[in-house]
Amino acid sequence: TAAAAEATVAVATNFLVPLRSLSEEFAARTGHSLRISSGSTGQLYAQITNGAPYDVFLSADAARPRRLEEAGATLPGTRRTYALGRIVLWSAEPDRVSAGGARALRTLGDGKIAIANPEVAPYGVASQEALERLGFWEPFQDRLVRGINVAQVFQFIGTGNAAMGFIAMSQLAGRPKGGEGSIWIVPPDLHDPIRQDMVLLERAEGNEAAFAFLDFLASPEVLARIESFGYSAPTN
Amino acid sequence: MPAAENPAAPRLEANLRLDRGDFRLEASLDARLSGVTAVFGPSGCGKTTLLRAIAGLEREARGRIAFDGTVWQDDRTFIPTRERRAGLVFQDARLFSHLTVRGNILYGHRRTPADERIFQPETVIRLMALEPLLGRRVSSLSGGERQRVSFARAVLATPRLLLMDEPLASLDQDRKEEILPFIERLAGELAIPTLYVSHEIDEVVRLASDLVLVSDGRVVASGPIEEVSNRFDLRSYAGRLDAGSIIRMRVAGHDEETGITRFAFAGGEVIGPRVDLPEGAAINLRVRSRDVAIALDRPGRTSILNVLPGRVVEIGPNDGPQAHVLLDVGTALWARIMRRSVNELELRPGRPVYALIKAVAVDRRSLGRPTAMDLSLEERDAAPPDGRR
Amino acid sequence: MPAAENPAAPRLEANLRLDRGDFRLEASLDARLSGVTAVFGPSGCGKTTLLRAIAGLEREARGRIAFDGTVWQDDRTFIPTRERRAGLVFQDARLFSHLTVRGNILYGHRRTPADERIFQPETVIRLMALEPLLGRRVSSLSGGERQRVSFARAVLATPRLLLMDEPLASLDQDRKEEILPFIERLAGELAIPTLYVSHEIDEVVRLASDLVLVSDGRVVASGPIEEVSNRFDLRSYAGRLDAGSIIRMRVAGHDEETGITRFAFAGGEVIGPRVDLPEGAAINLRVRSRDVAIALDRPGRTSILNVLPGRVVEIGPNDGPQAHVLLDVGTALWARIMRRSVNELELRPGRPVYALIKAVAVDRRSLGRPTAMDLSLEERDAAPPDGRR
Amino acid sequence: MPFDFEPLWLSIELAAITVAILLAVGTPIAWWLARTRSRLRVAVEAVVALPLVLPPTVLGFYLLLMLGPGGPLGGLLLSVTGSSLTFSFEGLVFASTIYSLPFVVQPVQGAFEAVGRGPLEAAFALRARAFDAFFTVVVPMARRGFITGGVLGFAHTLGEFGVVLMVGGNIPGETRLISIAVFEHVETLNYPAAHALSATLLGFCFLVLLTVYAVNRRFPVHAGR
Amino acid sequence: MPFDFEPLWLSIELAAITVAILLAVGTPIAWWLARTRSRLRVAVEAVVALPLVLPPTVLGFYLLLMLGPGGPLGGLLLSVTGSSLTFSFEGLVFASTIYSLPFVVQPVQGAFEAVGRGPLEAAFALRARAFDAFFTVVVPMARRGFITGGVLGFAHTLGEFGVVLMVGGNIPGETRLISIAVFEHVETLNYPAAHALSATLLGFCFLVLLTVYAVNRRFPVHAGR
Ligand SMILES: Nc1ncnc2c1ncn2[C@@H]1O[C@H](COP(=O)(O)OP(=O)(O)OP(=O)(O)O)[C@@H](O)[C@H]1O
Ligand SMILES: Nc1ncnc2c1ncn2[C@@H]1O[C@H](COP(=O)(O)OP(=O)(O)OP(=O)(O)O)[C@@H](O)[C@H]1O
Ligand SMILES: [Mg+2]
Ligand SMILES: [Mg+2]
């Protein structure tokens, strides 16, 4: 149909790997291409409000796309949830947390438990909620270490510095040998949904690639792919 | 010829004032500079500061400096150092540690337009015996080697006025003997007037035609060296500076066999060690007053080869146990003898006497023995436009 | 008394080898050091390097050094500089730029145990006229002021061996006159042997009892100064070093009115400018060979006050137009006269002659005029344990 | 994924340009600081060191504010040149320059002070003009300071990523530097790639530093005795 | 939210301790580098500069590996002291020390080289022992280098963020530094708080630097003439 276009996508780091893989499919299917910039959600937000040349914003939360929309920096009607995050409790030691729930957490002893910083990371908020609902938030205060994001939490645990911690399920899914150590998939009812929203930015006006990408992400095949990356499909 | 008597010599006027903590330089100088003018004074009296101010390195110095008709500095003007073309040999060498000896020596030369250059680097290098050092880093040089490099460097920039701050202080006598005639020629034949700070009385007396006496930041006297150094009112400043008498003579003849040269002057002839000058050449000889004895009778068979008849002109005021006696032997001649002899010999103005001078005490004062310098003068016209290597 | 003749004087043995690019130090020295031993040699011959090696600052120097019975360095030992207690006055002052003059001066003093200290800081400060400078930053000092600080600093650390590298090069004559007697006493009465590098012939001759001649990295001779400086085979090294004759005398009497002192020696009496010593005191006098004339007849009425009868002992080998003639006037006396006079006067060994010496040419050689130093010696015992302020 | 050299070259280019600018800008500042007797000197010294104090991302944030189209500098630039500096290679250069300035100014200033006025005066007396003397005497004698400053500035620009990520926006081929690429690999748990890139970076820098120091060593500035 | 001073004090404490350790550790290294004729010197110089090249988070990651219970150093520490260094203030100190080492070593080394052997030799000849001479002569004469190094090290430790976040784990009262706090405010769009904290940090550092430079200025090391 139309000539091939290019859209610049600003993506929260936790969705970078899935996006890279999806962008090939996108290109194959639509003939358009993506330029991908990644960063933390807060960083991307600050950049966007200061004129960054992005067409599409894939956030790790729901708040910032909304704020951009409120500020009128987006194309109306383009904000939607593209994935729901899942958290898992992970330990590098086999069987340590397989039992799940309070039993798993009780094995912590003097060790450290790592979560993403709830102040800045949606996954951290979910982790905090899960701990609170299981009644461990208060008792663990002195054993809590906070990573800037789940990637850092993964490193804390992977290097054995933290005994266990909450990471994104997508992190394990993205790894060839995702099964090492032990995991417990946190049931969704232990935390509010981690909505990862996207929005087209003002700059995407008339950019066919950007609109095509919006549709692409909502297609059922792609949603299935997103689930395979360790997310839940959005329900809207 | 002392500069003061030479109307063609460039005139240096300086009226400077500079405060440095407790020290105040307040120097007033108005001198015609030709040849070497010695700057003499005790340690810490402000000689270095004065030279620096003349060179334009003391921005805070207030006052006026004019050289050879150009105002270098006054209330409105401040000509920078490089345009003054004042060559400086610093007391502390100040070699460029990142350059080799060659790099140091050629630094100023390369910045001198070819038509202003007087010397070939090779000439100066040979004279200063710097060949073996050329490729060396300056950090490996000995004290005297540094001084030679510093000296060569300044000279090769062909300054209009050379300011030397104890340039030969750590050189041995032989090396000095090589370099002194070179300085004399720079100042004399090449007309690069030179202010020369030195504590070495011998050096001062040998080199300088004029003398600037500095004390406690002030210029207390300046003028021809014999005059200043013999002025009785300046004794306390000039201290042990014993210039003696400088006598202009002509070479009257050589006696190859005994290694003797005869010099003729108004009062007759004097004998001294051989000098390499053709018959008839003019030369300044120096006779120190301490080397002159006085006799009333012509002595008999002695090794004292110079016996000059004359008469007493004046006897200096009381100067401790010693007395300075001015004789007229066809020219003025100072003698320093014990006051007791003045009494014993009943010396008084007008009395006929003989002046006795050992031949070995006759110093040729300028026009040193031939050195690499003589070559340099021949090369001067033949010099290629660029001395770079 | 030259050290070589003094069996109580500490012995310095050095057998050193050090390579520095093209330059090789290969010095062999075995000398008893008492008083001042001058190190003399042309620029770049290795004097500084030799002193540094003796002080233990040249780690790469191979060989053996022993001083006063202690091995400082050999194949296995290397005593560090501070334990050698070799005081160094560097050619380039090397003051501590972060300290004031006072801080510099007291640096070594504070590190010297109270019972080893010989001087009060006040004494040395007074002698060097450093009072007005005490609070100053060293960067504001003049060249001569730096040297004085450097000198004071070294002395106040009470070294066992003092190594001085041209310490007085930029000092004026008056200041030198103040400091030289101090050095003489350091070396003489306080028995701090001193190796003293200088290019100043006058200084060397005045201060040193012994001489080490260095040439091209090697020690070519060492021994009592009169001997070394008069050895004909060393003429080419010793160059223009004219030591003359050093004669031990007693003060025979003063003539206050004429400012004259009479000195008695084996051959009679000599007259010279007044010295401040009591009658009967021993003193070394120096008579330079250039100041001695020879006569066959006793001269008549002249200002030459010293006429010493004697005879010719020896006439030196051909040395250009000049001749060195050794006389016996009751003591050995060298005369330098023109060779022509040797012929004219038909001088030959055994011939009776008169030696003529102007009184103004009689130099007292050591035991200078009284200075702050005299005070310091009195203070020595009364010194409080700590000189800090 | 084939080894992607682009971020490496881009980083080297950025570091080289930044160091060049830092030397050009930092040298006069250092010279002024080393020479002046002005009372301002102390304040300027402190200001030069300040960029260091802020966390890089925060500094980046402020630079973004300042350089963005709404910022004071960015607005000006926009109206003059038609584009602001953010999200461009030029913007990275600007940000790195600000951020690494103290690394260059301070060592160079120290070296200038150590050289002192003496050599300059000697050069003037040898007919050198001010610039000539500065470049042929002062600069070579202060070489150690330039090397220290250049190395710190270069290495720091290579390694820095907070500021450049913020100001540059991680745009492939334009502002995606090797430090950001390494960071991305770590963030996405692609450790082998991170190790490989880091090793490349380290190896490259090690060689560069080795060369710089080896060359420097052959020309010791100061007398060893 | 009341203004939370804890991260500020913690940061200052960290920076102060780090600088103290850096001076203690960096000085001998700098001295060795300035004096040695070993061929190793060039390599060591390069190695010292290397931490700079890695992006902080990457360096933090490697430190995490090294210091973790499975790492070479962490394992050793664990068996000796019962705990590894990660997620503790001590760990931050260690990490900051590694990270800021070149900032101290290089200027100090430069200053040592500028001082040269001369003053040391003079001190030895004045009976000073090696340590005495070093501290009473070499160090004061190299003061400018120490100040440069100390300032760069201090400011950089205050501003550093990637490494400390990684190694420290952001534990309030223990490893939560002001740089992290500022970053959090920026990330959460709490700009007023970020501005306030940044301003406090800058103001404090400005005063510190002003004092350091003003004091230094009163004791110029080198002759001005
Ligand atoms: N790295 C080097 N390569 C070659 N020669 C060197 C090196 N370092 C020193 N020298 C030479 O060693 C010699 C001895 O130097 P030293 O400083 O001991 O001389 P000196 O006798 O003290 O001279 P001066 O009276 O001029 O101070 C000098 O000729 C010097 O050039
Ligand atoms: N900042 C200062 N405060 C007080 N006095 C100072 C200051 N700077 C220099 N001086 C003094 O100025 C005087 C002149 O110094 P200058 O270097 O000109 O002396 P000089 O005649 O060259 O001495 P020398 O023969 O010893 O080299 C010295 O007494 C020095 O102490
Ligand atoms: Mg001077
Ligand atoms: Mg020497």
Q: Is C274 in the pocket of ligand 1 (CB under 6 A)?
A: no
Looking at residue C280, its pLDDT comes to 85
As given in the structure block, the two tokens for residue C26 are: 């290969």
- Return residues with CB closer than 5 A to ligand 3 (ion): B 48, 91; C 142-143
How does residue D171 score in pLDDT terms, banded at 50, 70 and 90? Answer: confident
Place of tokens 């959600």: A41
pLDDT band at C370 (very low <50, low <70, confident <90, very high): very low
Atom of ligand 2 nearest to the CA of B47: 21
Compute the nearest-CA separation of E72 from chain A (Å).
12
Q: How far apart are the first and last CA of chain C?
A: 39
Cβ-count burial D47-75 (b if 16+ within 10 Å, e if not)? bbbbbbbbbbbbbbbbbbbbbbeebeebe
State mean pLDDT over E195-206.
88
pLDDT of residue B312: 94
To the nearest 10°, report the CA torsion of C118, C121, C124, C125: 180
**Who among B171, B239, B299 is closest to C302 (CB)?**
B299
Residue E191 to chain A, least CA–CA distance (Å):
11
List subunits contacting chain B, requiring 3 or more Cβ pairs under 8 Å: C, D
What residues are neighbours of ligand 4 (ion), with CB under 5 Å? B 142-143; C 48, 91
Which residues, listed in sequence order, are joined to residue A39 by a DSSP beta bridge? A12
Cα–Cα–Cα angle for A122, A128, A131, nearest 5°? 145
Tell me what the pLDDT averaged over chain C comes to: 83
**Cβ contact D187–A16 (<8 Å):** yes
Residue of A nearest to E191 (CA): A46
Pick from D55, D62, D205: CB nearest E161: D55
CA-to-CA dists, residue A58 to A77, A220, A228, angstroms: 15, 18, 18
**In angstroms, rounded to a whole number, what is the distance separating the alpha carbons of residues E57 and D183?**
7
Q: Look at residue C366 in the predicted model and tell me its pLDDT.
A: 43
Residue-wise pLDDT for E63-98, tens only, equals 888 888 878 888 888 888 877 788 889 989 999 999
3-state SS, one letter per residue, for B284-295:
EEEECHHHEEEE
Number of other residues whose CB lies within 10 A of the CB of residue B378: 9
**pLDDT value of position B319:** 62
What is the token pair recorded at C280?
Answer: 């009967």
pLDDT bin (cut points 50, 70, 90) of residue C361 is confident
Q: Which of C24, C25, C40, C48 has most ligand 1 atoms within 8 Å of its beta carbon, as the pocket-test mutant? A: C48
Contact of C87 with chain E, judged by CB distance below 8 Å, is answered with yes
Least confident of B294-303, C45-54, C244-253: C244-253
pLDDT of residue C107: 96
Residue D139 pLDDT > 80, yes or no?
A: yes
Residue B237 scores a pLDDT above 70 = no
Instruction: For residue B345, give the 3-state DSSP assignment.
Output: coil
Contact present, A and C (at least 3 Cβ pairs less than 8 Å): no
**For residues E172 and E115, which has the higher predicted lDDT (pLDDT)?**
E115
Q: Is the pLDDT of residue B143 over 90?
A: no
Residue C55: pLDDT band with limits 50, 70, 90? very high
Is B81 close to D121, i.e. CB distance below 8 A? yes
Amino acid C346 reads E
Helix (H), strand (E) at residue D130: helix D130-133
Question: Please, where are the H alpha helices in chain E?
Answer: 6-35, 40-49, 56-67, 72-81, 89-115, 118-125, 130-133, 139-141, 143-159, 162-168, 178-187, 191-217
Q: Is C378 in the pocket of ligand 1 (CB under 6 A)?
A: no
- Band of residue B65 on the pLDDT scale cut at 50, 70, 90: very high
Q: Which residues contact D185 (CB under 8 A, 6 or more apart)?
A: D191, D193, D194, D197
Neighbors of chain D by Cβ distance (3+ pairs < 8 Å): A, B, E
Rounded to the nearest angstrom, the minimum Cα separation between A193 and chain D is 22
- For B75-120, the pLDDT digits (tens) are 999 999 999 999 999 988 889 999 999 999 999 999 999 999 988 8
The span from the first CA to the last CA of chain A, in angstroms, equals 30
**Tokens (6 digits) for A133:** 């609902």
DSSP-based three-state secondary structure for B217:
coil
Residues E56, E92 contacting (CB under 8 angstroms): no
| Atom 28 of ligand 1, nearest CA residue | C44
**D169 to chain A nearest CA, in Å?**
7
pLDDT at B235 over 70: no
Distance of alpha carbon A22 from alpha carbon E119, whole angstroms: 68
- One-letter amino acid at B235 equals R
pLDDT higher than 70, residue A207:
yes
Ligand 1 atom having least distance to the Cα of B141: 31
Residues above pLDDT 90, as percent of chain D: 31
- Closest C-alpha to ligand 1, atom 4: C21
The token pair that represents A125 in the structure block: 């908020």
Q: So what's the pLDDT on residue E150?
A: 92
pLDDT digit string, tens, across residues D80-97: 887 778 888 988 999 999
For residue B140, how many other CB atoms are within 10 A of its CB?
A: 16
How far apart, in Å, are the Cα atoms of E115 and each of B251, C91, C95? 57, 18, 12
Identify whether the C-beta of residue B218 lies closer than 8 Å to the C-beta of residue B27.
Answer: yes
Check: CB of residue A199 under 8 Å from CB of residue A79.
yes
Q: How far is residue E157's CA from residue D54's CA, in Å, rounded to a whole number? A: 10
| Cβ C44 under 6 angstroms from ligand 1 | yes
Query: How much is the pLDDT for E83?
Result: 75
Give the number of other CB atoms < 10 A from CB of residue C15: 16
Identity (one letter) of the amino acid at E70? G
Q: Dihedral of the CA atoms B315, B317, B323, B329 (nearest 10)?
A: -20
Q: Do A146 and E171 touch (CB under 8 A)?
A: yes
Determine whether the interchain pair D188/A151 forms a contact, defined as Cβ–Cβ distance below 8 Å: yes
Using CB atoms, pick whichever of C57, C82, C97 lies closest to residue E127: C82
Helix axes E178-187, D56-67, angle to 10 degrees: 40
State whether the Cα torsion B104-B110-B112-B114 is positive or negative. positive
Angle between helices B372-382 and B173-187 (to 10 degrees): 40
Q: Compute the distance from residue D78 Cα to the ligand 3 centre, in Å.
A: 60
Test site for ligand 2: of B25, B39, B48, most ligand atoms within 8 A of the Cβ? B48
- State pLDDT tens for residues C259-296: 889 999 888 899 888 887 788 887 778 788 888 999 99
Which distant-in-sequence residues (6+ apart) come within 8 Å of D211 by Cβ?
A: none
- Determine the residue of C97, C133, C145, C146 to mutate for testing ligand 2's pocket, defined as the one with the most ligand atoms within 8 A of the Cβ atom: C145
Maximum alpha-carbon separation in chain C = 70
Model-wide pTM > 0.95? no
- Of the partner residues E84, E166, E184, the one whose CB lies closest to the CB of residue A152: E166
Out of C82, C94, C107, name the one closest to residue E129 (CB).
C82
Q: Which of C226, C229, C239, C230 is nearest to C317 (CA)?
A: C230
Confidence of residue E2 (pLDDT cuts 50, 70, 90): low
The Cα B107–Cα C27 span in angstroms is 37
Closest C-alpha to ligand 1, atom 11: C23
Which one-letter DSSP state was computed for residue A74?
A: B
Q: What is the pLDDT of residue C385?
A: 39
Taking the C-alpha atoms of residue D62 and residue D74, their distance in angstroms, rounded to an integer, is 12
Q: Do D132 and B111 touch (CB under 8 A)?
A: yes
Nearest-angstrom CA–CA distance, E32 and B314: 72
Helices (H), chain B: 47-55, 81-84, 101-110, 121-127, 143-155, 173-187, 201-207, 225-230, 235-238, 339-344, 372-382
User: At D213, is the pLDDT very low, low, confident or very high (cuts 50, 70, 90)?
Assistant: confident
From E217's Cα to the closest Cα of chain D, the distance in A is 8
Query: Averaged over C43-62, what is the pLDDT?
Result: 92
Comparing E57 with B11, the larger pLDDT belongs to B11
Q: How far is the C-alpha of E1 from the C-alpha of D219, rounded, in Å?
A: 58
Q: Do C139 and E121 touch (CB under 8 A)?
A: no
Residue B378 has pLDDT above 50, yes or no: no
Residue of B16, B45, B52 to mutate, ligand 2, most atoms within 8 A of C-beta: B45
Beta carbons of B150 and C50 less than 8 angstroms apart: no
Helix axes D178-187, E56-67, angle to 10 degrees: 50
Q: pLDDT tens digits for C311-355? A: 999 887 766 778 888 899 988 888 888 888 998 999 999 999 999
Compute the Cα dihedral for C67, C70, C75, C76 and give only its sign: negative
With H, G, I as helix, E, B as strand and everything else as coil, classify residue A166. Answer: strand
The tokens of D170 are what? 């991680």
Residue D222 forms contact with B (CB below 8 Å): yes
Instruction: Give the Cα separation of E40 and B52 in Å (integer).
Output: 45
ipTM over 0.90: no
Give Cβ neighbours of residue A42 (< 8 Å, ≥ 6 apart). Answer: A64, A120, E186, E187, E188, E189
Across the beta sheet with C194-197, the strand order is: C86-89, C161-165, C194-197, C36-40, C208-215, C218-224
Q: Which residues of A touch D (CB under 8 A)?
A: 8, 10, 13, 16-17, 35-39, 43, 46-47, 49-54, 149, 151, 154-155, 171, 174-175
- Is the CB of B48 inside a 6 Å radius of any atom of ligand 2? yes
D46–chain B nearest CA distance, Å: 29
